[in-house]
Amino acid sequence: MSFLHPAFLWALTALAIPVLIHLFQLRRFKRIDFPNVRYLVEVTQQTRARKKIQHWLVLLARCLALASLILAFAQPYLPGPTGATQVGERAVSLFVDNSYSMDGQNSGGRMLDQARKQAQDAVMAFSAADRYQVLTGAFEGREQVLLGRDEALETIARIDVSSYSRPLSKVLLRQREALASSDAPVKRRILFTDLQRSITDVEAWTDDTLAPTVIVPLSPATPDNLSIDSAWFATPVRRAGQAETLHLRIRNHGEQDLQNVPIRLDIDGRQRAVASFSVAGGTTVDTLMHFLGDGPGDHRGVIRIADQPVVFDDELFLAYRVTDRLRVLLVTGTDPISDRAISNVFGLDSTHLFTTRGYRGLDLAALEQQDLVLLNALPEVPGGLTHALTSFVEGGGSVAVFPPSMGDPVRYQELFARLGSGTPALVDTNSMKVGRIDLQDPFYRAIFQSMPNNVDLPVVRERWSLRPAAGSDVLLRLQDGSAWFARTSRGQGSAYLCASPLAESASNLTRHSLFATSLLRMAELSRPMGALYHTIGEVAHIALDGVELPADQPPHVKGPDGLDLVPEVRRTPGRTELLLHDQALPDGPYFITIGNDTVRSVALNLPRRESDLRAFSAEELTQQLSERGLKSFRVLDVANSELSLRLNELDQGHKLWKWFILLALLFLLVEVVLIRYAR
C-alpha cells in the first residue's frame, strides 16, 4: 500500500491526545473503613475491573478512529500495473481507429460508435484541467495539438470512417511526438482499435515508461467479409466494337462457403453485364464478365456485389480509354520486298493507321505521334534518329529493329546501346532453325496456349549475334540457345530487337505465320493504356500521354460531391504525370480537366488491406506483449460501463480512502456503544 499524500501521516502523532485524556481521567480512590462490608468489597472490586477494561476499549476505539481518519486524508492506494501514482496535470493521447474495418458490427453495435463513446468516457474519467490529443488515421497536422476537455469531446464526436489504415507502431510514434510537446508530469496513451492483424505490428513496438499505453480492443462478432480484390482486361488495348473480357478476382475473408453470389458491371451508368460466382471460405476465385466495347473515348465503369455490414470493398471503379486505330510507322531502308510484307500486315487492317517513310527524309518530330515505329533494313542509323527513338521509347512508345541484309553491325552500335542492348557482333550465315518460343511471357502467352513439339518454326540463314541487356525478355531462341528475338524495357516503352533481316535470303520469317502474329502483337502492346484504376492512400501516378498542358493553366482533378483538386504535375522527357499523394478521398470516378475541357477520366478505389477483418483477441495480444517484454502496455477487455473505473485504477491505482472513512465511522460507533451501553 502506498500514499498519495504521505505528509499527512505526521498527524498520527495526534494519537497521543486521547491517551493523555485517558490518563488524566484516572481517579485515586480513598479507603474508608466500614463495618460488616465483606460482600460490598467483592462487588466493588468486580465493578472497578470492568470499568478499567471499558476505559481501555474506549481509548482503543478513539485511537483507531483518529488513525483511520488520518490515513484517509493521506490518500492510501494499491499501485496499479503502471506503477506508482503521479500527481499533477495529465497529457492524454487518444487514438480512435476510424479505418473502414471499424464499420463492422459486434454485440454492442457498430464498432466505430463504440470507440467514440469509450473515448469520450475516457476524457470524462480524467480531470477537467488535463489536456488531450485526439488522433485518427488521417494523421492531420491539427491532430498534434493538445485540446481541452470540451474541445476533445467535440472532436471525438465528429470522427467518421476514412480510407486511412495506419500500422499501430506509427500511431504510437505519432502519439509520442505529440506528448513530447507537453510539460505535464503525467502522460498516457490510449488506443481504441479493432486490433486487425494487418496493422497490429507488435514486433515494431517499443517500451515507453514515460507514457504508458492502454489498448481498448473492439473485436468484430465475425471476420466474415467478401471483397472485390482486383480486375483486369484479357487484352491490353481497348478497341471500338471489340468483344471485351474482364477478369475479376473475388476474395472470401470468412470461413463460410458462398454460393451463386450475384455480381454486376455498369459502364457509363448503364448495366452491361451480370454474372454469379461461388467461393469457398478463406479462398479467392477468379471469374469473367463479357461485354461489347463502346466507341472511342474515355469510359468509366463500376463492379458491384452486395455484402453486409462492411461495404467499402463491395465496389470497384474502373476507367479506361477505347482507341479507334493504332498508329504504326515504317521507316524503310534498302529492302522493298520486306517493306511490302510489313505493309500487307498493317495496311489492310482498318484498326491501324499505317504510314511509310524513308529514313533520310523522316520528320523526327512526327515520331511522338506514333505508337509503334518499325526500322527495316536501314544501312545506318543517324545520330539524330537514334536520339529521337530513345526519347520516343522512354516516353512510352515501342520500336522494332530489323537489321539490313549483310549490313555492318557497327553502324547500329549506338542505337543498340541506347536501347539497353549490347553491341551486336559480326554476321553469321550458318543455317539454323528457331528452337523455342517463350510461352511464359505475356507476349506470346496470350496467343499460344500450348506448342506442339514438332511445330514448324522459321529457318534462319543470316543473323547477328544479339546480346540483350540483363532483364530483357528473350521471346524466340535459336536451336543453340542464343537469343534471336528479344524485348527490352526502356523507360515507359519497349524495344524489340531481331537478330535477322527480313530479307528472304536471310530467313523465311516473312512467309511464316509467326511474322504477322508478332507484328500485330507489338502494335497491340505499343500503346500504354494506363492503369485501370488507382488506390487511394498511395501515391498515384496518372500519365497524360498525348495531352499538352499549358504552362499558365494548371490541371484540375474533379471527383464526387464537387471535389476539386489541383494535383502535382511532374514532367519528364517525353512524359507528363499527375501525382495524387496520400489524401483521404472518396472512391469513384474522377475527371482531369484543363479549363472547361475534360482530357482524361480516372478511377480511384479504396485500399483492400482493410478487407481482412481477422484480428488479435485481448488474450493473444497480451501474450504477444509478454513474450516481447513490453511492460508499459496494458490491454483492457472491459465493458463500456467499466472503462472509467478501470482507467482510474490503471492510472491512479486502487484507492482505499473511502474504506478508511468507513472504518473511522465504525470505530466512533463502537466508542459510543461502549460509553452508553456497557455497564
- pLDDT tens for 545-571 read 667 778 788 899 999 888 898 888 887
Beta bridge partners of 276: 262
106 falls in which pLDDT band (50, 70, 90)? confident
Question: What is the distance between the alpha carbons of residues 570 and 492, in angstroms, rounded to a whole number?
Answer: 15
Q: Is the pLDDT of residue 55 over 90?
A: no
For 400-433, how does the pLDDT look when each residue is reduced to its tens digit (9 = 90+)?
999 998 888 889 989 988 887 887 877 778 889 8
Give percent of the chain with pLDDT exceeding 90: 37
Q: 534-605: same fold as 235-321?
A: yes
Q: What is the pLDDT of residues 331-371, one digit of tens each?
A: 998 899 999 999 999 987 777 889 999 988 888 888 888 88
| Rg of the chain over all Cα atoms, to the nearest angstrom | 41
pLDDT at 649 over 60: yes
Chain Cα centroid distance, residue 260: 30
For residue 260, what pLDDT is reported?
Answer: 93
pLDDT computed for residue 485 by the predictor: 92
Averaged confidence pLDDT in the chain: 84
Cell of 69: 481518519
Other Cβ atoms less than 10 A from the Cβ of 148: the count is: 14
Q: Residue 309, preceding bond cis, omega within 30 degrees? A: yes
- Cα 488 from Cα 474, distance rounded (Å): 9
Q: Are 446 and 435 within 8 A, CB to CB?
A: no
The number of beta carbons lying within 10 Å of the beta carbon of residue 306 is 11
More confident residue, 65 or 1: 65
Per-residue pLDDT, 317: 96
More confident residue, 93 or 674: 93
Give the pairing type, strands 243-252 and 284-292: antiparallel
Q: Is the pLDDT score of 273 beyond 90?
A: yes
Cβ contacts of 117 within 8 Å, gap of 6 or more: 640
> Residue 116: its pLDDT value, please?
94
513/494 Cα distance (integer angstroms):
23
Q: What is the mean pLDDT of residues 207-217?
A: 91
pLDDT tens digit string along 133-185?
A: 999 998 888 999 999 999 999 999 999 988 788 899 999 999 999 999 999 98
> Residue 208 and residue 179: Cα distance in Å, rounded?
12
Mean pLDDT value of segment 632-657 = 69
Beta strands in 544-652 (DSSP E): 556-558, 564-565, 568-572, 575-580, 588-594, 597-605, 633-635
pLDDT for residue 641 is more than 60: no
Amino acid letter for position 540: A
What architecture (CATH level 2) is domain 326-524?
Answer: 3-Layer(aba) Sandwich (3.40)
- The CATH architecture to which 534-605 belongs is Sandwich (2.60)
Q: Each residue of 283-330: pLDDT tens digit?
A: 999 999 999 988 888 999 999 999 887 888 999 999 998 887 889 999
Q: Using alpha carbons only, what angle is made at residue 122 by residues 118 and 125, rounded to the nearest 5 degrees? A: 135
- Return the closest-CA partner of residue 411 out of 377, 366, 388: 377
First to last CA, the chain: 39
DSSP strand pairing (597-605 vs 588-594): antiparallel
Dist. CA 319–CA 298, nearest whole Å: 7
Stated length of the chain: 679
What pLDDT was estimated at residue 40?
A: 52
Give burial (CB, 10 Å; 0-12/13-18/19+) of 558.
middle
Pairing of β 575-580 and β 568-572? antiparallel
Q: Where are the domains of the chain?
A: 2-79+657-677, 90-222+614-652, 235-321, 326-524, 534-605
Q: What pTM value is reported for the model?
A: 0.69
Give dist(CA 322, CA 201) in Å, integer.
43
Residues 6+ positions from 629 with CB-CB distance below 8 Å? 207
Mean pLDDT of 196-206: 92
Does 109 have pLDDT greater than 70? yes
Task: For 550, list phi and psi in degrees, rounded to 5.
Answer: -65, 145
The Cα 306–Cα 318 span in angstroms is 18
Q: pLDDT at position 377, please?
A: 92
Region 618-636: mean pLDDT is 92
Per-residue pLDDT band at 539 (split at 50, 70, 90): low
What is the pLDDT, as a whole number, of residue 423? Answer: 77
| pLDDT, position 42 | 56
Helix (H, G, I), strand (E, B) or coil at 545: coil
CATH class of 90-222+614-652: alpha beta
Burial of 676 (0-12, 13-18, 19+ CB in 10 A): exposed
Q: Per CATH, is 235-321 categorized as 2.60.40.10?
A: yes
Residue matched to cell numbers 504525370? 577
Return the DSSP state at 628. Answer: T
CB atoms near residue 151 (< 10 Å): 15
Exposure class string for 618-653: b at 16+ Cβ within 10 A, else e = bebbbebbeeeebebbbbbebeeeebbebbebbbbb
pLDDT for position 31: 63
The pLDDT score that the predictor gives to residue 331 is 94
In sequence order, what are the residues at sequence separation of 6 or more whose Cβ sits closer than 8 angstroms to the Cβ of residue 394? Answer: 490, 491, 492, 493, 573, 574, 575
